Structure 1
Amino acid sequence: MSDRVGDWLQLVHDRYPPAEAASWDHVGLQVGDPAWPVARVLVCLDVTGAVVEEAAAVPDTLVLAHHPLLFRPLAALTPSTASGRTALAAARAGVAVVAAHTNLDVARDGAGTSDPVVGVLGLRDVRPLTTELRESGDLKLVTFVPPEALDTVLDAVAAAGAGRIGDYERCSFRVDGTGTFRPLPGSDPYSGEGVGQDAAEQEWRLEVVLPRGRAGAVVTALDEAHPYEEVAYDLYPLVAGAEVGLGRIGRLPEPRTLADLAETVRHGLPAPHLRFAGDPDRTVERVAVVGGAGDGHIGDALRAGADVYVTGDLRHHVTLDALEQGLCLVDAGHHATEAAALPHWIARLTEAADGRGLTAPVIASDTPTTPWR
């Protein structure tokens, strides 16, 4: 059976969960049908008209891009905008487009867009530069059950997909307590003294985690297994742990000058149009990195105690302000910092695909997308 777009979409989402993307981001399937066949996967930074032409040259090509083709909301899908024109061309050619953007930036498998600079400089004691909490994609179900129905309810929600943590199933937490109620006319209470009478009954608070996509099935199973006429329950969104974050902060194996560090990054990525700001002879040791456009994280670099910040797309006044606060800057370019991560991303995707029996080769696009000369 041939690969399908849906197979590759699931692989990408399992490896780089959409829940780890920034709240403003747009990732996942942007053009195409999950049922379309996939003969090859073409990896690129940007989806341009030329990339779509390259993809269309081989039927059933899936384009896997870092930058979303459809990023800003479209009022209409017409050729009047660059993204609309490119999306229409992809759809006409049967080229599916999937994006992994900030969920790839924060990746912990060595394919994150800040990791190439970490490798080039040999940074040590590396951790995320930011540790923003994001929804994990899981929910916690909390309900209240009489003692004699506890196992029945737990079995039912577990069978529907709740209570699975890693290699363990039927995981739960329970606390003994007291529930109170007063039945109104027309009710049929499971326990108590009858309509209009205050009641206090022993109940267990039961907690289980579940994937967001199983919420409907789990709630249905809860309703069917629970003995109460009215089932009380809550669903809480969970957030990812603090180990997920954008950028990296670490220290050099030994102090070196700013000019020497900049030259190492220029050759190592490579980043032929690299520029730096600060005293070339200043000794630096603690390095912050954000691949792509990172001037919005200068404050994070300063708070982390960085001597120098390596990123791209630095603006004039932002750079001046950072220098006044004692932070040296290396602007290696948006394209250069992220393009260096693509070979690592392709290697991780190939490895994951082999483990799932997917056969479409993963290759890098030959189409240059950097606009600068």
Structure 2
Amino acid sequence: MARICDIYDIINAVAPFESQMAFDNSGLLVGDGATEVTRALLCLDITGAVVEEASAINANLIISHHPVIFDPLKALNSRSPAYLLAKNGIAALCCHTNLDRSPVCGVNVALAAKIGLRSVHPEDVFGEEFILFAGELERETEPREFARLVKDRLGAGTVQLIDGGRPVKKVFLCSGAGGEGPALAACRGADAYLTGEMKQHEALEAAKTGLSCVVAGHYETEIVFAEFLAAYLKKRIPDTAFLISKAEKPPFTAV
């Protein structure tokens, strides 16, 4: 039976934890690496509902994208996911910006695969604390058609589009909060840019680049990692079950 440290090592080999950004807190945040894993549950965020689900299905490890402990804790009470994890004997392995960066089984690679991009690769962004990937669509498409493709492939309730007014072939992307990326993508020859969320002033700056920009939701652009990483781990540890959380839902509903 695999131990938590075995799973940690497999992830670390392709998404080194030391590569995480300075602000991040990725790693084994709750639990003991020597613990044998009964089942592992994958999710974007560790909430009380996810911990309850893990306990119900006898999963003693949760692998999440967002760290369950990020800012310094001021309290550890019965509503705290970290408290609930410890109380139920469930470990938390959190893979955040190290997984965003990974060209093997990372979040951006999973996002690119989900929308059908080819020749996907990370872009060097020298001197910037920013993660940027690029790929190409199979054929040129109009901006609105590209936006609809993203919406359908990600199962998003809605997406927002800044229409650049020209065909889209080369797509740059940054999952989650990537509002600073359009200018970096534009100077590298992008036709379009995909991210999860963008602030008002970032959208105004993005419109100046001439790119078509699709904003598809933080949850929607990142939850794609779970299925991708679960399949990767299952191939390497076939005797351990890697399950996707069913309790986790996107925080927003389209109305």
Does residue 305 of the first structure (1) align with residue 189 of the second (2)?
yes
Structure 1 residue 315 corresponds to structure 2 residue 199: yes
Question: Which residue of 279, 282, 288 maps to 2:172?
Answer: 288
CA distance in 2, matches of 1:77, 1:37: 29
CA distance change for structure 1 residues 131 and 282 in 2, over 3 Å: closer, same or farther? closer
Residue 26 of structure 1, CA deviation: 1.0
Change (3 A) 1:331 1:61: same
Greater Cα radius of gyration, structure 1 or 2: 1
Partner Cα distance (1:272, 1:63) in 2: 27
- 3-state SS in 1 of match to 2:170: strand
Matched, 1:325 2:205: no
Q: What is the alpha-carbon root mean square deviation over aligned residues?
A: 2.3
Q: Which structure 1 residue ranges, 4+ long, deviate > 4 Å from structure 2?
A: 131-134
Percent same amino acid among aligned pairs? 33
Instruction: Read off the aligned partner of 2:158 and give its amino acid letter.
Output: H
Say whether 1:104 aligns with 2:99.
Answer: yes
Report if the CA contact (8 A) 1:16-1:107 is conserved.
Answer: yes
Residues 126 and 248, structure 1, Cα contact 8 Å, conserved in 2: yes
Deviation sequence 1:328-347 (CA, Å, 0-9, x none): 21001111111223211111
Q: Secondary structure at the match of 1:295?
A: coil
Partner amino acid, structure 1, of 2:76: T
**Partners in 2 of 1:14 and 1:249 — Cα distance?**
22
**Deviation of 1:133 (Å):** 8.4
Q: Does 1:16 align with 2:22?
A: no
- List alignment gaps of at least 5 residues for structure 2: none
Corresponding position of 1:191: none
User: Equivalents in 2 of 1:99, 1:124: separation in Å?
Assistant: 28
CA distance 1:132–1:89, shift in 2 (3 Å): farther
Q: 8 Å contact 2:114–2:224 — kept in the other structure?
A: no
Contact 1:64–1:99, Cα closer than 8 Å, also in 2: yes
Q: d(CA) in 1 for partners of 2:116 and 2:53?
A: 36
Tell me what 1:157 maps to: none
Give SS of 1:25's match: coil
Q: How does 1:1-373 map to 2 (within 5 A)?
A: 2-59=1-58, 61-74=60-73, 76-79=74-77, 85-109=80-104, 111-131=105-125, 246-278=131-163, 282-354=166-238, 359-373=239-253
User: Structure 1 284/360 Cα, relative in aligned 2: closer, same or farther at 3 Å?
Assistant: closer
Relative to 1, partners in 2 of residues 1:133 and 1:62: Cα closer, same or farther, differing over 3 Å? farther
Cα distance in 2 for partners of 1:360, 1:25 equals 28
The residue identity in structure 2 corresponding to 1:123 is L
- Any conservation in 1 of the 2:118–2:138 contact (CA below 8 Å)? yes
1:60 CA drift (Å): 5.2
Letter in 2 for 1:360: T
Deviations 1:62-92 (A, max 9, x none): 0010111111123x44239x6xx11011101
- The answer as to whether partners of 1:46 and 1:369 remain within 8 angstroms in 2 is no
Q: Which has the higher strand share?
A: 1
Does the CA-based 8 Å contact 1:113-1:292 persist in structure 2?
no
How far apart in 2 are the matches of 1:129 and 1:56? 40
Instruction: Give the direction of change, closer, same or farther, for the CA distance of 1:133–1:20 in structure 2 (3 Å limit).
Output: farther
Task: Please report how far the alpha carbon of residue 117 of structure 1 lies from its aligned counterpart in structure 2 after TM superposition.
Answer: 4.1
Q: Give, in whole Å, the separation in 2 of the partners of 1:307 and 1:106.
A: 22
Amino acid in the other structure paired with 1:90: L
1:324–1:289 CA distance, 2 compared to 1 (3 A) = same
Is the CA contact 1:52–1:90 (under 8 Å) kept in the aligned structure 2?
yes
User: Does the Cα contact within 8 Å between 1:105 and 1:114 map onto a contact in 2?
Assistant: yes
After superposition, the C-alpha distances for 1:231-284 in whole angstroms (9 at most, x for unaligned) are: xxxxxxxxxxxxxx83312333332210011111111122222121125x5322
TM-score relative to the length of structure 2? 0.89
CA separation of 1:336 and 1:254: change in aligned 2, threshold 3 A: same
**Aligned partners of 1:305, 1:360: CA distance in 2, in Å?**
43
Q: Measured at CA, do residues 15 and 114 of structure 1 come closer, stay the same or move farther in structure 2, by a change above 3 Å?
A: closer
Distance between the aligned counterparts of 1:131 and 1:19, measured in 2?
A: 18
